[in-house]
């Protein structure tokens, strides 16, 4: 009974729609030199990159620049909204 309940839940979640959308876009547009995946959970964001080394020779630099850009964006929002860093982190 537990397995069928989990399957039923998955059918009614956005997981299947997200998978189908990503699959369709990949088929229509093809694989590209850069794929980025962001996952945020609680107070942590994970960024995954899949790169073509011929197109992007230094993916670590790209990731460092992306991280810095996100920090600058966060800091700008903190200043504009008058928040404390503890509330933003």
**Domains in the chain, number:** 2
Yes or no: say if 15 and 6 are a contact pair by the CB < 8 Å rule.
no
Q: Which domain holds residue 35?
A: 31-89
φ, ψ (nearest 5 deg) of residue 16: -70, -40
* 45 shares its domain with 11: no
DSSP 4-58: HHHHHHHHTSSHHHHHHHHHHHHHHH---SEEEEEEEETTEEEEEEEE-TTT-S-
* 10 shares its domain with 49: no
- Residue 48 or residue 11, greater confidence: 48
Q: What is the mean pLDDT of residues 64-71?
A: 91
Confidence label for 21 from pLDDT (cuts 50, 70 and 90): confident
* 53 shares its domain with 88: yes
Can you give the pLDDT at residue 17? Answer: 78
| CA-to-CA separations, 34 to 16, 47, 67, 71, in angstroms, rounded | 23, 13, 16, 21
Can you give the pLDDT at residue 61? Answer: 92
On the question of pLDDT at 16 being above 60, the answer is: yes
Confidence label for 7 from pLDDT (cuts 50, 70 and 90): low
């Amino acid at each position: 009974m537990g397995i069928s309940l989990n399957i039923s839940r998955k059918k009614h979640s956005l997981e299947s729609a997200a998978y189908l959308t990503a699959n369709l876009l990949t088929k229509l547009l093809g694989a590209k030199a850069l794929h980025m995946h962001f996952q945020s959970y609680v107070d942590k964001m994970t960024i995954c990159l899949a790169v073509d080394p011929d197109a992007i020779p230094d993916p670590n630099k790209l990731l460092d620049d992306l991280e810095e850009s996100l920090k600058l964006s966060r800091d700008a929002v903190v200043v504009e909204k008058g928040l404390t860093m503890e509330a933003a982190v």
